[in-house]
C-alpha cells in the first residue's frame, strides 16, 4: 500500500536524537510538504508545489489542506495495567490527606496491588486493552506499560504476561517495563531481597532485556536498595529506569546519571546540582505533569532542566492513584502551563524524546526510513495540540502506514 499525504504543514523533527536544551524548540517545520508512505515506512518528504508533482501518485491520496502532520505521540511512562479503583482515596485527598499519608495507612499503591493480585491475567489484559484503545484515539501509537502492582514474583509475571496479551491486539507498539520495585510490601519481611534475587531472576528468564524500574522515595525503595537492584539487573543485561525526586531527593539522580540509566522520571523535587547532573548525563528526564495536577503537588521545573541542557520527555503517568488520564495531549497542555515547557518543547518531549527513552530509533520524526506512525491534526497550527484542554486534536492516525482513525 502506498499513501501520499499532500499539502501538509509537516513537523519533521529532523536532527539529533534526543533533542537537548534549546534544540527542543526546533520542530523542523516544512510549511507545505508532501509525504509518501510505502508499506510501513516513510519513503519521501518533499515541498509541495502546485505546478510540479515531486512525488508520484499513490494508491491513496489525502489532501491535508494545510493541516499539521507530525509524528504520532509516544507515551513513555504509564502504569496502564491495573485492577480496582482509587476513587475513595481521591476523596480522602480532597479532605486533606497527603499521598504519603495514604500510602503509609495501607492505601495508595498497596490498594491497587491487592486488587491486581485478585484479578486474572485475562481480566488485566482486557482492562488494559480498553485503556490502550482510548489512548490511541488521542493520537498515541507507542505506549510503555509497567508492571508494579503485583509485588511478588507470581503476580509481576502475571502482569507482564497480561501486557503481552494486550499488545498482541493493539495496532501500535507496546513496550513493557518491569517495575518490580514499586513499593515495599509490608507483609513480606524479606521483600527487598526476594525482589532483587527471586523476582528479578524470574523476569530475566521469561522477559530478557526488559527494562527494570524502581521507585526511589521515602516510604518506598531506598537509594541503597535501588542501587543493588540496578547492579544485578545491569549485570543480567537489563537497562534501568527510575522514579525519583517525586517528593524527596535521596541522591538517586546523580547515581542514575552515573550508571547511564535510560531515564529519571518525576523530578518534581530537584536541586540545582541534580539538574546539572541530569543535563550532563545521557539519561533523559521524564516529567509527569498530570500527576502534579491531580495531587496538587509542585510541578517539575522542566524549564530549568532544558535551559541547563537536559533532554526532557513527557508522559501521562496513566495510573489509578496519581494520574487518572489516558490523554497525552492533556498531559502536554498541563506541562506547558505547569512545567514551563513551550508548545514546541512539549511536542518534542512527547514524540522524539519519548521514543528515545524507549530505545526506538525508527519513530519520532517525519523522514525517509522512519516508521510511518503519524498524526494529522484538525488544525493548521501545531500549538493547538497544547492549547485545547481535554479534547482530541486528532483528525487521522496512521500506524505503520495504515490509516486507523479519522
Domain ranges within the chain, ordered by starting residue: 2-72+364-405, 74-357
- At 316-327, the pLDDT tens digits run 999 999 999 999
What pLDDT, on the 0 to 100 scale, is given for residue 262? Answer: 98
Answer yes or no: are the C-beta atoms of 160 and 178 closer than 8 Å.
Answer: yes
Answer yes or no: are the C-beta atoms of 262 and 284 closer than 8 Å.
Answer: yes
CATH superfamily membership of 74-357: Metal-dependent hydrolases (3.20.20.140)
Distance of alpha carbon 219 from alpha carbon 229, whole angstroms: 17
How far is C-alpha 141 from the chain's CA centre? Answer: 11
| Other Cβ atoms closer than 10 A to 193 | 12
CB-count burial class (<10 Å; 0-12, 13-18, 19+) for 258: exposed
**What residues are paired with 212 via a beta bridge?**
178, 240
Distance of alpha carbon 260 from alpha carbon 248, whole angstroms: 21
What pLDDT, on the 0 to 100 scale, is given for residue 54? Answer: 65
What pLDDT, on the 0 to 100 scale, is given for residue 56? Answer: 72
* Helix, strand, or coil (residue 15): coil
Distance of alpha carbon 245 from alpha carbon 239, whole angstroms: 20
Low-confidence ranges of the chain (pLDDT < 50): none
Determine the topology of domain 2-72+364-405 in CATH: Urease, subunit C; domain 1 (2.30.40)
- At 255-281, the pLDDT tens digits run 999 999 999 999 999 999 999 999 999
Residues 6+ apart with CB under 8 A from 285: 263, 264, 265, 267, 278, 300, 302, 305, 310, 311, 312, 313
Pairing of strands 173-181, 140-146: parallel
What pLDDT, on the 0 to 100 scale, is given for residue 52? Answer: 65
What pLDDT, on the 0 to 100 scale, is given for residue 405? Answer: 56
* Helix and strand totals (H; E) in the chain: 16, 16
Residues 6+ apart with CB under 8 A from 142: 72, 73, 74, 75, 172, 173, 175, 354, 355, 358, 360, 363, 373
**pTM over cut 0.75:** yes
Amino acid at each position: 500500500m502506498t499513501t501520499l499525504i499532500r499539502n501538509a504543514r509537516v513537523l519533521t523533527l529532523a536532527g539529533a536524537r534526543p533533542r537537548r536544551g534549546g534544540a527542543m524548540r526546533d520542530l523542523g517545520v516544512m510549511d507545505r510538504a508532501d509525504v509518501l508512505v510505502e508499506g510501513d515506512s516513510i519513503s519521501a518528504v518533499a515541498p509541495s508545489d502546485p505546478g510540479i508533482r515531486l512525488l508520484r501518485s499513490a494508491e491513496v491520496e489525502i489532501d491535508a489542506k494545510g493541516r499539521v502532520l507530525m509524528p504520532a505521540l509516544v507515551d513513555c511512562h504509564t502504569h496502564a495495567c491495573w485492577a480496582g479503583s482509587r476513587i475513595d482515596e481521591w476523596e480522602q485527598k480532597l479532605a486533606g490527606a497527603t499521598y504519603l499519608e495514604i500510602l503509609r495507612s495501607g492505601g495508595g499503591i498497596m490498594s491497587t496491588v491487592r486488587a491486581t493480585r485478585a484479578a486474572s491475567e485475562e481480566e488485566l489484559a482486557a482492562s488494559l486493552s480498553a485503556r490502550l484503545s482510548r489512548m490511541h484515539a488521542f493520537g498515541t501509537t507507542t505506549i510503555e506499560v509497567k508492571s508494579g502492582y503485583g509485588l511478588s514474583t507470581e503476580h509481576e509475571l502475571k502482569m507482564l504476561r497480561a501486557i503481552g496479551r494486550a499488545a498482541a491486539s493493539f495496532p501500535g507498539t507496546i513496550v513493557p517495563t518491569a517495575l518490580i520495585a514499586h513499593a515495599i510490601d509490608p507483609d513480606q519481611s524479606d521483600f527487598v531481597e526476594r525482589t532483587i534475587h527471586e523476582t528479578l531472576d524470574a523476569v530475566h528468564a521469561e522477559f530478557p532485556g526488559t527494562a527494570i524500574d524502581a521507585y526511589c522515595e521515602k516510604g518506598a525503595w531506598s537509594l541503597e536498595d535501588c542501587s543493588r537492584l540496578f547492579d544485578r539487573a545491569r549485570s543480567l543485561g537489563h537497562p534501568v529506569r527510575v522514579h525519583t525526586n517525586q517528593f524527596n531527593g535521596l541522591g538517586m539522580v546523580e547515581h542514575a546519571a552515573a550508571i547511564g540509566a535510560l531515564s529519571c522520571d518525576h523530578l518534581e523535587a530537584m536541586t540545582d546540582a541534580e539538574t546539572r547532573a541530569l543535563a550532563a548525563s545521557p539519561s533523559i528526564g521524564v516529567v509527569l505533569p498530570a500527576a502534579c495536577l491531580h495531587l496538587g503537588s509542585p510541578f517539575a521545573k522542566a524549564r530549568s532542566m532544558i535551559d541547563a541542557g537536559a533532554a526532557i520527555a513527557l508522559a501521562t503517568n496513566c495510573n489509578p492513584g496519581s494520574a487518572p488520564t489516558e490523554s497525552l495531549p492533556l498531559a502536554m497542555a498541563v506541562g506547558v502551563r505547569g512545567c514551563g515547557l513551550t508548545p514546541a518543547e512539549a511536542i518534542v518531549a512527547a514524540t522524539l524524546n519519548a521514543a528515545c527513552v524507549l530505545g526506538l530509533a525508527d519513530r519520532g520524526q517525519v523522514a525517509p526510513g522512519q516508521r510511518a506512525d503519524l498524526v494529522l491534526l484538525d488544525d493548521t497550527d501545531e500549538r493547538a495540540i497544547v492549547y485545547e484542554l481535554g479534547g482530541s486534536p486528532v483528525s487521522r492516525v496512521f500506524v505503520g502506514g495504515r490509516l486507523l482513525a479519522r
